[in-house]
């Protein structure tokens, strides 16, 4: 086997660009995990387009059953890295759930999620939804249109159940954000009660992404927040209606990351750089020439070993459109962003936002100073690795110097109020002031004790 790998390595070196100087890899046979979602695309593209090969890496990609299995695989070394929820490395590092030091040198994408409700709930929401001149719903749709429906169900003694993919997922926080912005309480966590349903108007629970449409159809949940293609799948199956995309909720919000164990990065620094280089190239390929490669990417993703959904379902969002109801397809060119707007740079401010949401809903049970948020962000997000990989790509003629934020301090400029559905601006350098500005959620010294908020 070793002889075969050495032979393959030699072959790879010969076909790699002549100007690319191969890093001396500490480990070249790698296994990466992913969940069947379109935003795993950088991994599939890096594999199928030969970008891993160009770096001398022999990569196997393996679909995982759910996010917990995936995280456990990275922690125990079964997986060398994975397509991860951005909240997973942060939660693991601060010890919420499974404890381990996971880092990310690469942010995988922006946007890409939606919130879908059942046909029945949609019909009940419609009287409260603003309409355009042509009679179609005016987007974005506020959760205030859902509030009377939730109130009606409550009066009938029916809990209003919705699904999200994992307690520290973007989907959990986006669904909570949307509900709270519309005046609905999504519930608190406490150290003694990790259901996240304390004081909730809407009860959120975990459902793996590919199972969302079937769970909705079965009536177990009335709606969900998930990544593509599982919102468009509900439209194709005629069982649900996406009411808002996360692009409308928070323009160009961060989504998944590529996560590796901190020990892996320390033990295999050149391998980590090589992987990051390949992923940057994949992200560039996905967005270049105004998304010209997206149809080819959709073909790759539709294969059973990757996402395994129909080409048409994946193409509905990946190629710059989004279908809210059958026939109501609208232009959303930035629904999936993989490289534009510095999408791949692991910004500290993105990490801080996830941490504020953990604090807002009680997953971080005690107040923390602003300095704590900054320290945790810097222990997990690693822009220095990213920029080193980018520098090598520029030197090799494979990337443009102008495409990377070399002088960034790791924090984005504050997100303006007009880019967020509740009209509340976000500044990653002032997390506690941000928490104070949100009308629903923990702030200051507040803690959850039993079923009540104290402080």
Could you tell me if residue 439 is inside a domain? Answer: no
Length of the chain: 455
End-to-end CA distance of the chain: 63
Q: Round to whole Å and give the CA distance between 167 and 205.
A: 8
CATH number at residue 6: 3.40.190.10
Same domain, 310 and 399: yes
pLDDT the model gives residue 382? 98
In three-state form (DSSP H/G/I as H, E/B as E, the rest C), the secondary structure along 406-435 is CCCCCCCCCECHHHECCCCCECCCCHHHHH
How high is the pLDDT of residue 15? 39
Which residues, at least 6 apart from 276, have a Cβ–Cβ distance to it below 8 Å? 105, 106, 258, 385, 386, 389
Identify whether residues 122 and 218 lie together within a single domain.
yes
Same domain, 6 and 69: yes
At residue 184, the 3 state secondary structure works out as coil
Residues 103 and 136 in one domain: no
Nearest to 38 by CA among 140, 91, 110: 110
Domains identified in the chain, total number = 2
Residues 173 and 49 grouped into a single domain:
no
**DSSP letter, residue 79:** S
Domain end marker among 194, 217, 252: 252
Of the candidates 383, 422, 424, which has an alpha carbon nearest to the alpha carbon of residue 183?
422
Residues 6 and 121 in one domain: no
Whether residue 270 sits in one domain with residue 151? no
Residues 20 and 70 in one domain: yes
Assess if residue 224 is contained within a domain.
Answer: yes
Q: Is residue 309 part of a domain?
A: yes
Q: Do 197 and 293 have their domain in common? A: no
Q: Per residue in 293-319, is it b (16+ CB within 10 Å) or e — as a string?
A: bbeebbebbbeeebbebeeebbbbbbe
**Residue 20 has what pLDDT?**
57
105 and 134 part of one domain? no
pTM of the model: 0.94
Q: Are residues 230 and 272 in the same domain?
A: no
The answer to whether residue 25 is domain-embedded is yes
> Which phi and psi (to 5°) does residue 396 adopt?
-85, 0
- Any domain includes 55: yes
Run means of pLDDT, 10 residues per run, the chain, 455 residues: 41 43 94 97 98 98 96 98 98 94 98 98 98 95 98 97 97 98 98 96 95 97 97 96 97 97 98 98 97 98 97 94 94 95 98 98 98 98 98 98 98 97 98 98 97 95
Confirm whether 132 is domain-assigned.
Answer: yes
Quote the pLDDT of residue 22: 85
Inside any domain, residue 416: no
Examine the domain organization and report whether 21 and 106 are in the same domain.
yes
Residue 80: C-alpha distances to residues 102, 265, 383 (Å):
11, 10, 19
**Distance, CA of 99 to chain centre:** 20
- The domain in which residue 61 lies consists of 2-110+255-321+335-346+382-403
In terms of DSSP H, where are the helices of 51-189? 51-54, 67-76, 87-94, 119-125, 147-155, 170-181
């Amino acid at each position: 086997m070793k002889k075969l790998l050495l032979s393959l390595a030699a072959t790879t070196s010969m076909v790699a660009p002549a100007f690319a100087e191969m890093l001396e890899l500490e480990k070249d046979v790698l296994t990466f995990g992913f969940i069947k979602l379109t935003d795993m695309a950088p991994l599939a593209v890096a594999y199928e387009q030969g970008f891993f090969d160009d770096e001398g890496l022999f990569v196997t990609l393996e679909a995982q059953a759910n996010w917990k299995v995936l995280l456990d695989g990275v922690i125990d070394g079964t997986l060398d890295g994975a397509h991860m929820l951005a909240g997973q490395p942060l939660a693991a590092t601060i010890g919420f759930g499974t404890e381990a030091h996971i880092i990310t040198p690469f942010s995988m994408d922006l946007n890409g999620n939606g919130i879908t409700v059942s046909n029945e709930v949609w019909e009940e929401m419609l009287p409260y939804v603003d309409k355009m001149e042509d009679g179609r719903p005016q987007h974005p749709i506020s959760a205030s249109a859902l509030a009377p429906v939730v109130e009606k169900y409550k009066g009938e003694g029916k809990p209003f159940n919705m699904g999200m993919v994992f307690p520290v997922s973007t989907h959990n926080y986006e669904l909570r954000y949307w509900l709270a912005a519309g005046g609905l309480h999504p519930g608190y966590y406490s150290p003694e009660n990790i259901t996240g349903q304390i004081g909730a108007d809407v009860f959120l629970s975990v459902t793996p992404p590919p199972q969302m449409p079937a769970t909705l159809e079965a009536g177990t949940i009335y709606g969900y927040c998930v990544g593509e293609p599982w919102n468009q799948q509900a439209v194709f199956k005629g069982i649900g209606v996406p009411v808002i995309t996360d692009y409308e909720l928070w323009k160009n919000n961060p989504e998944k990351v590529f996560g590796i164990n901190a020990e892996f990065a320390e033990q295999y620094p050149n391998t980590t750089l090589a992987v990051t280089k390949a992923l940057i190239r994949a992200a560039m390929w996905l967005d270049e020439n105004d998304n010209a490669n997206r149809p080819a990417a959709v073909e790759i993703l539709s294969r059973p070993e990757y996402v395994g959904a129909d080409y048409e379902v994946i193409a509905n969002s990946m190629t710059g459109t989004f279908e809210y109801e059958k026939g109501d397809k609208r232009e959303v060119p930035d629904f999936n962003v993989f490289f534009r707007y510095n999408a791949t740079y692991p910004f500290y401010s993105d990490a801080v936002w996830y941490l504020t949401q953990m604090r807002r809903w009680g997953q971080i049970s005690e107040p923390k100073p602003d300095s704590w948020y900054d320290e945790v962000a810097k222990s997990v997000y690693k822009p220095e690795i990213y920029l080193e990989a980018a520098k090598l790509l520029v030197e090799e003629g494979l990337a443009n110097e102008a495409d990377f934020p070399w002088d960034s301090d790791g924090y984005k400029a504050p997100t303006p109020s007009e880019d967020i559905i509740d009209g509340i601006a976000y500044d990653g350098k002032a997390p506690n002031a941000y928490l104070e500005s949100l009308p629903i959620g923990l702030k200051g010294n507040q803690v959850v004790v039993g079923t009540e908020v104290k402080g």
